[in-house]
Structure 1
Amino acid sequence: MAAAKDDAVVLDVGGHGVRVSHPGKVVFPDAGLTKLDLVNYYVAVADGALRGAGGRPMVLKRFVKGIGQEPFFQKRVPENHPDFIDTATLRYASGTSAEEAVVRDAAGLAWVVNLGCLDLNPHPVRAEDLDHPDELRVDLDPMPGVDWSQIVDVAMIARDVLDDHGLVGWPKTSGSRGMHLLVRIRPEWDYREVRLAAETLAREVERRAPGLATARWWKEERGESVFVDFNQNAKDRTVASAYSVRPLPDARVSTPLDWAEVRTRRPEEFTVATVLERFAELGDPHAGIDDAAGGLEGLLRLAEELGPAEKAPRGSNASGGTGRRESRMPLIEVARTETKPEALDALERWKSAHADVVAHLSPADVMLDGMRGSSSLWYRVRINLQHVPEGERPEQEPLLVDYDPWAGRTG
């Protein structure tokens, strides 16, 4: 490690010099982790992290103001990127394109962390073939009120469905409340077919575990269940990959598991400190994932047998002529905010003003959603009044906060 200008240091990572600016900057105050600690973490677990993110175009999710502030999403690789960072140009359905970063070694991991990236967000394709995913991603997203044991039950059922159709699921904690199952596939199907296969998997899991799991896209219709989020396989979506550090105070890590561990371990056990020890002792439980690529023929046959999935009503009388979906649930919107703390504050203010209504709500009736904007998240707060007696339901009121994420934009 050598000194550089100002307080920066230059690390020798696999023969490449990687400049780390402000290495002593504290990123996780509760865990006592600095920027340099995070760089060293990713270098130590590089074999596993690259198995999840290496060779794939990556959206840079940058926490330049720390974990207490919203990140911004950068699709385009910085122009002054070093020569050990490859690039690939992705074209989106909107007609836009972006030359994105492709990390292939530990030096690349260190470089993206220096930019302020905590978690790694790669696309499910390799840079050499951008049109045919080689990974199907099963995101088990628990609704409020759902505990870990229910997530595990749904994961086991999803594993059975995958096995019945010639596929292998590799589990990992999401690093938050849920679980991901990664499924390597041969790169022979396009995004539309992969998403259809993922949606079919979700429908079959719901059929086998009604009440425990749901494939319903609209959040207010899910109840206290685990949402099998098939839309993470859409072309513009990314998920935090294996060994990603998540922006939680305890520096929690999205950690690969062996199936024998799934029922006994908990997400909060896996932090930067504990994963470093675990990786040094056990290595990567997903070491064989690239040798287990399967095909989608079975799930696509099942898609034909099940027929088209029920779609949300659009157009005609169902939408009042607006072309937008109208929910079948009695929803009210509380706020749209720029930051999560603002959303939480608005929710608490609404609860204080409607204490009699709050008594009827279940955890899943309160919906606080992070919505992806062009380069950052914004937040929406809604209340499902389904459990409130009809005569006691409050009307839609002016939003407590009415942030416009599109203000100032044209086109």
Structure 2
Amino acid sequence: MGSKQQTVTVAGRKLKLTNLEKVLYPEAVTTKAEVIEYFQTIAPVMLPHIRRRAVTRKRWPDGPGTTDDPKDAFFRKNLEDSAPAWVPRLGMQHSDHVNIYPLAEDEAVLAWFGQVAALELHVPQWRFDASVAPFIPQDQEGEPPVAERRNPDRLVLDLDPGAGTDVTDCAQVARWCREVLDDIGLPSVPVTSGSKGIHLYAALDGSYTSDQVSEVAKELARSLEADHPKEVVSQMKKTARKGKVFIDWSQNNANKTTVAPYSLRGRPQPWVAAPRTWEELKDPDLGQLTFQEVLERVAEGTDPLADFGRYTDPGEADSPAVAEPAPKKTQQKTKDIEDALTKYRSMRDAAKTPEPVPEDSPAAREGNPIFVIQEHHATALHYDTRLERDGVLVSWAVPKGPPLEVGGQGLAVQTEDHPIEYAEFEGTIPKNEYGGGEVFIWDSGTVEIEKWEKKKVVFVLHGQPEGGLGGVPRRYALVQTDEKGKNWLIRLMKDQPKQSAARKSPAKKSPTQGKADSKTTPYSRTAKDEPVSLPDPLPSPMLATMGAAKDLRGEDWIFEAKWDGYRILSAVHHPNEEDTPGAVELRSRNGKDYTTVFPELAELADLAPPGTVLDGEVVALNSSHRPDFGLLQRRGRLTKKREIDRAAERIPVHYMVFDVLHTAEHGDLTDRPYTERREILRELVASGKQVQVPEDLGDELDHAVEISEELKLEGILAKRAKSTYRAGKRSDEWIKIKHDNHADVVIIGWRQGKSGRAKTFGSLLLAIEDDDGELTYAGRVGTGFSDAELTEIRQQLETITRKTPPVHDVPREDASDATWVTPKIHAEVKHSGITRDHRLRHPTWRTVKPTDA
């Protein structure tokens, strides 16, 4: 795109581009051509956040200029008269006039924004009513219709650093905001604004007006100001912001806009409003990202907003934005059932998710009504509690799980009704689909409905003997706490059903319940002749911070191998009878019970004394005796005893123990230094067939890295010799350092490139060959190529094209525009590990390998 003027076709629209060599960002020497190319490349991840929204543009005809010589800009609300006739538009009624706004429905509109130097794109938190089609002059006659605003589908907080503060201070305030939002069931995603501060986005379901959302945001800001008066301010007055971070809650006003995620900013550098991970916000050197850095992240698959707010525009197509009407159902349904499941169907595509999506009305079901509680590892862990009523499962998301102590209560957020078939669903919802994540059945059974009123439901759950409710009937009340019916409280009532002695088994607490306060000791000791009580449930493990060798300050570091497996805390309980070994309990970092999933690890009872709590990693080894996360996943997903027993023989797992938190002799060890705990561990626990206590890798970094690479491990863990064990906390006293891995791959196809890569390719599709010569899909690589390599590889690929994919497991989204080739060209890529679905993580191109390699 280097010429001065050209006419291009983008998304089927013709657009004249001029002055492409004009420099818009002098400090970075970024041209208009590069700005337009950025908008084109970023479109797939940017458009979902701005479609159907009124786009206000901030334009810099001569670019923002430099730090010393900034240029003027102007806001543009009404659509320019010079806009191409194919730009879709809608009118919006203001108090005394109507504005006509462009709609960014596809890449062509973004390209036009770049052409007119509209660097910043600002949008409101609401979308136009989907029932009104966008007006396109070249396809329609008349004037653009005036469309109504829908309720907002997201809450936004703008964290603005005052004088004397910076983006790292905003990051701390963001973490405080996150805690509050999590508590009310609104998981959030941070976005470094591309200017000075941070934006926080939380998805909404459209149940609340802009005024209501603004009030919630305002109260959140005020409460944090009250809790942190020296760091936070919620007032608009600029003189009050010195040395503090201003939480601007007013962005949720229906008349306000926020710079869109992935928009460029009018700063001296081409910074971007870039979605970030919460892990990144812990970086002490956190800064804004340039458009080149953002493009690299997206090419590597990093998009923290990928599954954000998928349910806000039911059925929204990728292009155009207006969804097709739902197909007519094949059977006549009662109005109640159709209303109950219409929303559920609109939020799911049966071709993309394994969840049941029934087309027909549910058949009448005989017998007692049922319930299910599903442990849902989505953006935030929660427990979906579903009760059968009128042919569907009425559902609430319970962040901390149903309370198990009489009088205990917690938040419950009502969600859409689910079909009865959902009561048996367990599995993985794809990442980019609504509710993406793992789903497990925590308990299920029958429910007695004692009362069902508009604002109160009283019921008794009869779960499974080994279920999360502990095998005893439990009476709960759900009480509505707001006018919209969204927020409820779930309470375990004082008057509990009577139970027979045979059923009085101890309850399993939900993974997030019963955790000790960080200031108290999680374990208690009794007299020596009595059993030592262990925590129930086990605490969450201490977590390491991602880092690099440069982060290791000082010399008191000990190095361990980093295993690619499941983090598991284990407890050896006291025997129930004399001469009976203690029972072993295995819990994941999220509290999931893996005791029956990995039965071979019961040998731990013979290797460690009762009263012992250990921390370690469960791994599965491949034929080369290397940790293989794919094999481990196959084991971890099994639930039926027969399947588990068979798999334990074919794919045995190993428990690599690296820490001890409690013993019957010493009691709580979490306040003891790491080196002391390791010494106790070596003396206390013997290695067995499936349980090992690996030696550490010493205190020399280079030596540790060399050994880890030789063993082909994921990396190393650096732990301070004096570090105490901080249960449930992430600490920079433990730092994980990953290796850059290299993989031999085979090219199986390519995807068409855009803009500067239109004549070569956007990315290559890769496969990995196993020992038997079988190929499995390994993902795609789009970075690391020189211009010469792009041309040369495309020429080679053109000679070996074929009609069908060489492997069967290519995801539909990767295969949609692929050109397949015979798998003849071998290559090498660099990557940072293997994902859970057996793809290369963040692959970068290295080289084509000789045919005899």
- TM-score interval (norm. to shorter): 0.5 to 0.7
Whole-angstrom CA distance in 2 between matches of 1:97 and 1:267: 42
Shift of 1:78: 2.0
**Superimposed CA distance per residue, residues 359-411 of structure 1 (whole angstroms, 9 cap, x where no aligned partner):** xxxxxxxxxxxxxxxxxxxxxxxxxxxxxxxxxxxxxxxxxxxxxxxxxxxxx
Could you tell me which residue of structure 2 aligns to residue 96 of structure 1? 97
Structure 1 residues 127-142: aligned runs within 5 Å:
127-128=128-129, 129-142=148-161
Could you tell me which residue of structure 2 aligns to residue 118 of structure 1? 119
3-state SS of 1:61 partner: strand
Counterpart contact for 1:131–1:191, Cα < 8 Å: no
Larger radius of gyration: 2
Whole-angstrom CA distance in 2 between matches of 1:231 and 1:15: 39
Counterpart contact for 1:166–1:298, Cα < 8 Å: no
Whole-angstrom CA distance in 2 between matches of 1:106 and 1:65: 23
Q: Cα 1:133–1:265, aligned 2, differ >3 Å: closer, same or farther?
A: farther
3-state SS of 2:46 partner: helix
**Superimposed CA distance per residue, residues 153-201 of structure 1 (whole angstroms, 9 cap, x where no aligned partner):** 1100100111111112111101111000012212222222221121112
Could you tell me which residue of structure 2 aligns to residue 8 of structure 1? 5
Whole-angstrom CA distance in 1 between matches of 2:212 and 2:281: 29
Counterpart contact for 2:2–2:20, Cα < 8 Å: no
Whole-angstrom CA distance in 1 between matches of 2:125 and 2:481: 20
Structure 1 residues 322-401: aligned runs within 5 Å:
none
Q: Cα 1:23–1:88, aligned 2, differ >3 Å: closer, same or farther?
A: same
3-state SS of 1:166 partner: coil
Whole-angstrom CA distance in 1 between matches of 2:179 and 2:224: 9
Whole-angstrom CA distance in 2 between matches of 1:300 and 1:229: 26
Whole-angstrom CA distance in 2 between matches of 1:187 and 1:64: 37
Could you tell me which residue of structure 2 aligns to residue 22 of structure 1? 19
Shift of 1:84: 4.2
**Superimposed CA distance per residue, residues 214-273 of structure 1 (whole angstroms, 9 cap, x where no aligned partner):** 112222223311110011222222121111111222211111011111111756451022
Could you tell me which residue of structure 1 aligns to residue 247 of structure 2? 228
Q: 1:36 aligns with which of 33, 37, 59?
A: 33
Whole-angstrom CA distance in 2 between matches of 1:234 and 1:131: 13
Whole-angstrom CA distance in 2 between matches of 1:224 and 1:295: 40
Task: Give the unaligned 5+ runs of structure 2.
Answer: 65-69, 130-147, 313-412, 416-479, 485-853
Q: Cα 1:79–1:265, aligned 2, differ >3 Å: closer, same or farther?
A: farther
Q: 2:229 aligns with which of 193, 205, 210?
A: 210
Whole-angstrom CA distance in 2 between matches of 1:295 and 1:225: 36
3-state SS of 2:33 partner: helix
Q: Cα 1:264–1:16, aligned 2, differ >3 Å: closer, same or farther?
A: same
Q: 1:238 aligns with which of 245, 253, 257?
A: 257
Counterpart contact for 1:197–1:299, Cα < 8 Å: no
Amino acid at match of 1:288: D
Q: Cα 1:213–1:299, aligned 2, differ >3 Å: closer, same or farther?
A: farther
Shift of 1:292: 6.9
Among the aligned pairs, what percent are the same residue? Answer: 30
Could you tell me which residue of structure 2 aligns to residue 273 of structure 1? 292
Could you tell me which residue of structure 2 aligns to residue 260 of structure 1? 279
Q: 1:47 aligns with which of 37, 44, 61?
A: 44
Could you tell me which residue of structure 2 aligns to residue 108 of structure 1? 109
Counterpart contact for 2:2–2:21, Cα < 8 Å: no
3-state SS of 2:118 partner: coil
Could you tell me which residue of structure 2 aligns to residue 76 of structure 1? 78
Whole-angstrom CA distance in 1 between matches of 2:286 and 2:306: 20
3-state SS of 2:274 partner: coil
Shift of 1:17: 2.0
Whole-angstrom CA distance in 2 between matches of 1:165 and 1:300: 16
Greater per-residue helix proportion = 1
Structure 2 residue 173 is matched with structure 1 residue 154: yes
- The TM-score with structure 2 as length reference comes to 0.33
Whole-angstrom CA distance in 2 between matches of 1:219 and 1:299: 34
Shift of 1:50: 1.1
Counterpart contact for 2:192–2:199, Cα < 8 Å: yes
Q: Cα 1:158–1:198, aligned 2, differ >3 Å: closer, same or farther?
A: same
Whole-angstrom CA distance in 2 between matches of 1:267 and 1:149: 6
Whole-angstrom CA distance in 1 between matches of 2:96 and 2:284: 44
Could you tell me which residue of structure 2 aligns to residue 87 of structure 1? 89
Whole-angstrom CA distance in 1 between matches of 2:284 and 2:159: 16
Shift of 1:131: 4.3
Could you tell me which residue of structure 2 aligns to residue 199 of structure 1? 218
Whole-angstrom CA distance in 2 between matches of 1:177 and 1:191: 26
**Superimposed CA distance per residue, residues 326-354 of structure 1 (whole angstroms, 9 cap, x where no aligned partner):** xxxxxxxxxxxxxxxxxxxxxxxxxxxxx
Whole-angstrom CA distance in 2 between matches of 1:119 and 1:25: 18
Whole-angstrom CA distance in 1 between matches of 2:242 and 2:124: 30
Whole-angstrom CA distance in 1 between matches of 2:482 and 2:236: 19
Counterpart contact for 1:2–1:10, Cα < 8 Å: no
Whole-angstrom CA distance in 2 between matches of 1:166 and 1:88: 34
3-state SS of 1:120 partner: strand
Counterpart contact for 2:155–2:252, Cα < 8 Å: yes
Shift of 1:46: 0.7
Shift of 1:140: 0.3
Counterpart contact for 1:201–1:299, Cα < 8 Å: no
- The TM-score with structure 1 as length reference comes to 0.67
Counterpart contact for 1:166–1:295, Cα < 8 Å: no
Could you tell me which residue of structure 1 aligns to residue 826 of structure 2? none
3-state SS of 1:9 partner: strand
Q: Cα 1:22–1:298, aligned 2, differ >3 Å: closer, same or farther?
A: farther
Q: Which stretch shifts more, 180-189 or 83-92?
A: 83-92
Greater per-residue strand proportion = 2
Shift of 1:152: 1.2
Aligned pair count? 297
3-state SS of 2:190 partner: strand
Could you tell me which residue of structure 2 aligns to residue 176 of structure 1? 195
Q: Cα 1:116–1:238, aligned 2, differ >3 Å: closer, same or farther?
A: same
Q: Cα 1:58–1:258, aligned 2, differ >3 Å: closer, same or farther?
A: same
Amino acid at match of 1:121: H
Whole-angstrom CA distance in 2 between matches of 1:252 and 1:41: 12
Amino acid at match of 1:63: W
3-state SS of 1:124 partner: coil
Whole-angstrom CA distance in 1 between matches of 2:235 and 2:82: 44
Whole-angstrom CA distance in 2 between matches of 1:91 and 1:127: 12
Could you tell me which residue of structure 2 aligns to residue 166 of structure 1? 185
Whole-angstrom CA distance in 1 between matches of 2:162 and 2:270: 23
Task: Give the unaligned 5+ runs of structure 1.
Answer: 302-411
Whole-angstrom CA distance in 1 between matches of 2:245 and 2:289: 22
3-state SS of 1:88 partner: strand
Whole-angstrom CA distance in 2 between matches of 1:32 and 1:212: 37
Q: Cα 1:225–1:107, aligned 2, differ >3 Å: closer, same or farther?
A: same
Amino acid at match of 1:153: Q
Counterpart contact for 2:88–2:103, Cα < 8 Å: yes
Q: Cα 1:183–1:251, aligned 2, differ >3 Å: closer, same or farther?
A: same
Counterpart contact for 2:57–2:119, Cα < 8 Å: no
Amino acid at match of 1:103: A
Q: Which stretch shifts more, 14-23 or 253-262?
A: 14-23
Q: Cα 1:136–1:286, aligned 2, differ >3 Å: closer, same or farther?
A: same
